[in-house]
């Protein structure tokens, strides 16, 4: 599939795109990950769990398009987490890359994730996944469809019977409710991160 065809595929709401990204491979800097867990986030006024819920800001501008670009943010001011932007240009939505299996470049991923004891831990969780692929905050706004990155959809989609959905992990407020079952994962895959409800940070 060409970059233009991929961009057209991604130009739909993240809630539609997210389950179809399971099994896709994202190539980064010297490593590649097969996605096994993702979360969908919509835009202005649609999704109280989304960074774009209250409108465009300098940080969230990449979420507003064009589709196929990266939106990278810092979690707790420390860890980069990566999203693939969806929806037509100007309409914010994105798919958070929550977990996956390193399928190429394990040595590079291990060098970046030296604390991981097992291969299944290398990209289990959004911060680990971004680190394993060499993604940083500087990549926010870059295309995920062009070098040094590439996105490949699975030749055979993951069967619906193997896809599970549920509330998004660690999301505060209304956005973390069961009414937003927008975390999608491949059932029983060892690289899927454990579900955690939001817990307020202690000061």
Judge whether 191 lies within some domain: no
Judge whether 173 lies within some domain: no
- Reading the block at residue 193, the tokens are 């991160």
Judge whether 15 lies within some domain: yes
User: Per-residue pLDDT for 77 more than 80?
Assistant: no
Domain of 100, CATH number, reads: 3.10.300.10
Per this entry, what is the length of the chain?
Answer: 203
Judge whether 170 lies within some domain: no
- Burial code (b: 16+ CB inside 10 Å, e: under 16) for 54-91 equals eeeeeebebbbbebbbbbbbeeeeeebbbbbbbbeeeb
How far is 140 from 95, CA to CA, in rounded Å? 14
Higher pLDDT, 52 or 203: 52
Residues 174 and 47: beta-carbon distance below 8 Å? no
Q: How confident is the model at residue 124 (pLDDT cuts 50, 70, 90)?
A: very high
Span 170-185, pLDDT tens digits: 888 888 888 999 999 9
Please give the residue range of the domain that contains residue 78: 3-154
Residues 53 and 43: beta-carbon distance below 8 Å? yes
Judge whether 175 lies within some domain: no
Judge whether 129 lies within some domain: yes
Phi, psi for 112 (deg, rounded to 5) = -85, -25
Q: What is the pTM of this model?
A: 0.94
The total number of structural domains in the chain stands at: 1
pLDDT at 1 (0 to 100): 85
pLDDT at 202 (0 to 100): 53
pLDDT at 176 (0 to 100): 82
Give the pLDDT mean for 29-51: 96
Angle between helices 14-21 and 3-10 (to 10 degrees): 130
Q: Mean pLDDT highest for which of 69-78, 85-94, 167-176? A: 85-94
pLDDT at 199 (0 to 100): 58
């Amino acid at each position: 599939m060409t970059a233009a065809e991929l961009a057209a595929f991604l130009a739909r709401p993240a809630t539609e795109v997210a389950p179809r990204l399971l099994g896709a491979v994202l190539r980064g800097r010297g490593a590649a990950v097969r996605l096994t867990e993702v979360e969908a986030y919509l835009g202005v006024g649609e999704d109280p769990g989304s960074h774009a819920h209250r409108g465009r800001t300098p940080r969230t501008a990449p979420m507003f398009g064009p589709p196929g670009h990266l939106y990278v943010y810092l979690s707790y001011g420390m860890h980069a987490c990566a999203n693939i932007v969806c929806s037509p240009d100007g309409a914010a939505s994105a798919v958070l890359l929550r977990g996956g299996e390193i399928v190429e470049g394990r040595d590079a991923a291990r060098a970046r994730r030296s604390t991981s004891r097992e291969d299944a831990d290398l990209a289990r969780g959004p911060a680990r996944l971004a680190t394993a692929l060499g993604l940083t905050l500087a990549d926010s706004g870059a295309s995920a469809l062009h070098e040094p990155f590439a996105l490949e959809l699975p030749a055979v989609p993951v069967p619906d019977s193997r896809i599970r959905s549920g509330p998004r992990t660690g999301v505060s407020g209304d956005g973390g409710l069961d009414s937003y079952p927008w975390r999608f994962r491949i059932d029983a895959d060892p690289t899927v991160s454990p579900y955690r409800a939001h817990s307020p940070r202690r000061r």
